[in-house]
Chains A and B, each alone.
Chain A
Amino acid sequence: MSSAAERRLVGVFSRKGAKRDHTRRLRAGFEKWVNRRIPPAREITLNQRRIFIFPSRIGLFFSVCLLVMLIAAINFESNLSYGLTFLLMTLFIVSILHTYANLSGLTIRALRATPAFPGQLSDFHLMVERSKKRDHFALYFFWPNGSEILVNLVEEDSNRFQLHVPVDKRGWFNPGRLLVESTYPLGLLRCWTWIDLDISALVYPGPLASPDLPGVATDTPDGAAVPVTGNDDFYGFRGYRIGDSLRQVHWKGLAKGQGVQTKQYTAYADRSVWLDWEQFPGAGVEQRLSHLCYWALAFEERSEEYGLRLPGLVIQPASGEKHRDRVLKELALFGFEGATL
């Protein structure tokens, strides 16, 4: 089993926590089996290979009730009571098929996950679709540690929804196996599967303020290193380009029908700043990344241009959401294998 898969499963099974050795071994065996049976994929269609079914707690309670009813029927020698008890028993059995049908044939697709900072929630966008025109009710999606949701597929053939999972460390975050569960229609049986969606959220380094501004570093080639705050020298408009910050879009002009234009500010054009790995001597890797992240956000907030220099990587100064995302992504994945895309 790969270490990635191991990590994934920890999230699933750590809820109860292994206490004894043999249970841990048992669990590891189960994990191996589950991983073989339900390998990770971008989209997963639920079929008999993946779906497990077993009486729910309510189902067991119902069985006890049926037993009591059967005893009543025997003791009163009442044939109609026998009949009713048997009817409910067979209803239980028929509901196995119905419960199973509610989950089978569904395709769950991983759409995207929003990047997040450690400790925040990442939104995982998923989609569930049906292949046959059958009603599916109360599909329960749950990520351990994350949020849960109930989804119906009645009128429409697919449904997009989000689950929020808190992320922890910088890098790619995989939320682990997703629980897909259904007890519809009678609640007597629980039909479920743990699917491993090939979806990960990008976790940025946690921003960490540093007392000194990085701009004072001497090796900035542009020279103009001091960021000026609050200096909004409006220069003019240019046509909107993808990646421009929405904050700089000339909305009023757009409303007047002048097309999408971006406002330009002179101050930033010649005051680009370099965020440099070397600017934080003595700091650890994570700390440096956190400081860089902090400053990237700070400059983006002020709509100033900034560039990034990491060992083995240079991003030319620019600004805008696209640029910020790229910078943050590089910071998030710094030091990980095959990080840059």
Chain B
Amino acid sequence: MNVLQQVPRNALVWGIICLFALVAPHALRLPFWVLGVYLLAVGWRWQVYRGRWSFPRRKLKLAMIVSSFVGIYFSYGSFIGLEPTVALLLTAFALKFTELAHRQDAYVLIFLGYFVCLTEFLFSQDLLMTFYSLLCVTLLTTTLVALHQPGQHQFNRRTIRLAFVMLLQALPLMVVLFFLFPRIGPLWKMPTNSHTGTTGMSDFMKPGDIASLTQSDEVAFRVKFEGEIPPSSDLYWRGLVMSKLENGAWSTLGLYSVPAKEARPQAVSTTGDPLIYSVIMEPTNQQWLYGLRYAISSTPGVMATSDFRLISPTPVEVEYIYRARSWTGAELEPKLSEWRRKIETKLPPNANPRSRAFALEMRDAVESDAAFMSLVMNKFTTETYVYTLKPGQLLGRDAIDQFLFESRRGFCEHYASAFVFVMRAAGIPARVVAGYQGGEVNPVNKTVIVHQFDAHAWAEVWIKGRGWVRADPTAAVSPTRIEMGLEEAMESEGSFLSEMPLSPVRYRSVALLNELRLRYDALTYGWQSWVVGFDSGQQMQLLHRVFGEISARTFMAAFIGSWALVLIPVAISLFRGKDTFPMSPADKYYRMFCHRLSLIGLKRVSGEAPGDFARRVVAAIPEETEQVWNITSLYARMAYETGADGNRNDQNALEELIRAVSKFKPKAQRNAGGGLHPPV
């Protein structure tokens, strides 16, 4: 085999490490048999290395490729979509490894590996994931380096150093490119990860759904306000509006059940300063976004619905950033259309007769809808209702009756659902709103972290002259929940995150842990807003801030300047290095002596012995005879005598030499004659 085509053993081992490092983050998403292919591939290649087996033959390879394709088709049901594509890529990566014989194969393998690293980002852009991917890139680069180090027949840990150093040197340039490279929209639509499940709130709510959501400590979104953060009790993050009650479950109106002329939101007159904030949402695979009422967004693509919510044009598959402004006091929909009124007062026939009777009776007792609303609220405050995550079974046709008049134990969705039912029963338009309430203020970077356990449901009631008004029966039952959050509200019950004993959020009382958690969260926020969410808008802002007016010239200058700034030190560090024949101090001072003589025309020719040179010098400048011989003999002693009596004498001689040379300042002689020229 050509010497250039050999794959050193060191590279092979690094390749195996890469193989497993790359597949690890995908392991849970992949069908288990793909991992089997990995083990087989590595096992086979190892046996080939040991000389036990031979490389798979062409027919066998073909069979493996075809069966992998078939396997992936059956595992995913199609080849379209991100997951099957990535699974194919990963399987190809493993199969390529079995036939790794020449350097050319290794190149293909490593470049495929870089692609695999890229695909990891399409699933997660988490900070930790990024570090892991950087590790994978380092490993792949190490394999590439090991491939070019012939004669390394053993695994060499140190190979990673060069790869690491090179990547470190490349990093600053990457940052420059990252911030300067223009962001353009997608060229064509790519397959998306349609196979992963949705997370967070769902557009269908039956009693108990939100309660189960509150068992998760995952972050739903993070908010950064411009200016003061409003008090927690004002942070009602509207996400979904549920107007339809069927079989004891609330759901949103389907897109096509809204008539065309009702589909656009009514104009809202706004007064006063809005709250301005930006939200970074974690992926949900759903379209709806969260905002305080009444929110409008300036982010391109974000749309508003007729029930004053924000939605994204496509499901949120990766971290998504949008900016919004909210006028919390704005009057929403002062005029209710007939269709809307009908929809928002509709109830399933016959269910919950006691609640209906109660509603009609109470409505008759007061003269206005608003008064009725506070009357019902009062019922929750004055009577013994319990706010609990363990409400017991409340199902069946008359679940609301059961809750209102018998068990009186429930979570926010029970209260909201019962409240809206009673309102509707009295003929007042009302609906359930689902979203999040409150959030944790991170003192590190002044963001509001909204967790899944902040999930909440409340009600909106339409009052003539005031439009849609928020009514939260939970606030009446458990004011602590609204003001302090779920953890405090559930303190006596001890049910907060009871299913997640290891969640860091549970240990908020441990100051150090909490500090660490919040710092990491701040880091994540910075990461998401500056790196993951960096877009052309931010880019323009940044460039304006750094360069002022952006012109092609400043742009190019910045580009070239920054590159020079990085590459020149790299070059210097590369070409520096210890001399292979380092000069001893004695040599150094003797050379200085020769240099001083050369200034007055006495050059020592190469190969001339110090003694011969001294003789010539003395002939030329006789008045320095003593000095010259002193230096020469000192040097000769140090250079040629191997001192048996240790270093101390040497040290003395060196000091003497240094002193003698520094004092030696020869002057040129006019009558030197032929002595100035070396004997040839």
One of B3, B103, B111 near A140 (C-beta < 8 A): B3
Given A69-B114, A75-B187, verify A186-B579 contact (CB < 8 Å): no
Is A184 part of the binding interface, using a Cβ–Cβ cutoff of 8 Å? yes
Given contacts A71-B187, A78-B125, A148-B3, are A132 and B577 in contact (CB under 8 A)?
Answer: yes
Within 8 A of B (CB), among A48-101: 58, 61-62, 65, 68-69, 71-91, 93-95, 97-98, 101
Contact: B121 with A138, CB < 8 Å?
Answer: no
Please, how many angstroms separate the alpha-carbon atoms of A132 and B578 in the complex? 5
Number of residues of chain B lying within 8 A (CB) of chain A: 58
B501 sits at the interface (CB 8 A): no
Chain A residues near B183 (CB-CB < 8 A): 77
* A74→B577 CA distance, assembly (Å): 42
Closest beta carbon of chain A to B103's beta carbon, Å:
8
Tell me if B188 and A75 are in contact (CB < 8 A): yes
Q: Which of A81, A134, A137, A138 contacts B577 (CB 8 A)?
A: A134
Cross-chain contact of A152 among B149, B533, B579 (Cβ < 8 A):
B149
The answer to whether the Cβ of A31 comes within 8 Å of any Cβ in the partner chain is: no
B125 & A138 in contact (Cβ 8 Å cutoff):
no
Q: Which residue of A lies closest to B136 (CB)?
A: A84
Q: Mark A205-236, 1 if CB is under 8 A from B, else 0.
A: 00000000000000000000000000000000
- Asked if B302 CB lies within 8 Å of chain A CBs, one says no
Q: Among the listed A82, A94, A101, which residue makes an inter-chain contact with B169, where contact means beta carbons less than 8 Å apart? A: A94
Contacts of A104 in B (CB 8 A): 575
A185 CB within 8 Å of chain B: yes
With a CB–CB cut-off of 8 A, which chain B residues contact A58? 107
- Interface members, chain B 129-166 (any A CB < 8 Å): 130, 133, 137, 141, 144-145, 147-151, 162, 166
CB of B149 within 8 A of CB of A138, answer: yes
CA distance in complex: A244, B4 (Å): 43
Complex contacts, B347 vs chain A, CB 8 Å: none
Q: How far is A72 from B177 in the complex, measured between Cα atoms in Å? A: 17
Q: Is the CB of A86 within 8 A of B187?
A: no
Cβ of A286 under 8 Å from chain B:
no
How many of chain A's residues touch chain B, expressed as a range?
35 or more
Could you tell me the distance between the alpha carbons of A127 and B311 in the complex, rounded to whole angstroms?
72
Contacts of A61 in B (CB 8 A): 107, 111
User: Which of B4, B111, B118, B579 is within 8 Å of A81, CB to CB?
Assistant: B118
Given contacts A84-B117, A90-B170, A97-B571, contact A138 B578 (CB under 8 A): no
| Distance from A63 Cβ to chain B, minimum over Cβ atoms (Å) | 11
Distance to closest chain A CB from B183 (angstroms)? 8
Which residues of chain A have C-beta atoms less than 8 A from B254's C-beta? Answer: none
Contacting A at CB under 8 A, from B1-19, are 2-4
In the complex, what residues of B have CB within 8 A of residue A94's CB? 166, 169-170, 173, 567, 570
Q: How many angstroms between the C-alpha atoms of A74 and B145 in the bound complex?
A: 29
Determine whether the beta carbon of B130 is less than 8 Å from that of A80. Answer: yes
A320 within 8 Å of B (CB atoms):
no
Q: What is the distance, in angstroms, from B253's C-beta to the closest C-beta of chain A?
A: 31
Q: Give B102-115 as 1s and 0s: 1 = Cβ < 8 Å from A's Cβ atoms.
A: 01000100010011
B171 at the interface (CB under 8 A from A): yes
Cβ-based interface call for B74 (8 A): no
Q: Is the CB of B111 within 8 A of A65?
A: yes
Q: Are B118 and A72 in touch, CB under 8 angstroms?
A: yes
> Which residue of the partner chain, among B3, B141, B150, B580, contacts A157 with CB atoms under 8 Å?
B580
- Given the complex, which residues of A lie within 8 Å of B114, measured CB to CB? 65, 69, 84, 88
**Is B629 interfacial (CB-CB < 8 Å)?**
no
Q: Is B349 an interface residue (CB 8 A)?
A: no
Q: Is B197 an interface residue, CB under 8 A from the partner? A: no
A185 to B578, CA, bound (A): 21
Which residues of B are found within 8 Å of A93, using beta-carbon distances? 170, 173, 567
Q: Is the CB of B580 within 8 A of A130?
A: yes
Contacts of B122 in A (CB 8 A): 76, 78, 81
A12–B321 Cα distance when bound, in Å, is 61
Q: Offer 12 A-B interface pairs, CB within 8 angstroms, sorted by A.
A: A61-B111, A72-B118, A75-B190, A76-B190, A77-B185, A78-B122, A91-B141, A97-B574, A98-B574, A132-B579, A152-B149, A185-B166
Which 10 pairs show the lowest CB-CB distances between chains A and B?
A132-B577, A90-B173, A90-B170, A86-B177, A80-B121, A133-B578, A101-B574, A157-B580, A91-B170, A87-B174
Q: 10 new A-B pairs (CB below 8 Å) besides A74-B187, A80-B531, A185-B162?
A: A68-B115, A75-B189, A83-B174, A86-B174, A94-B166, A94-B567, A133-B580, A134-B574, A138-B148, A184-B148
Which residue numbers of B lie inside 8 Å of A, CB to CB?
2-4, 103, 107, 111, 114-115, 117-118, 121-122, 125, 130, 133, 137, 141, 144-145, 147-151, 162, 166-167, 169-171, 173-174, 177-178, 181, 183-190, 318, 531-534, 567, 570-571, 574-580
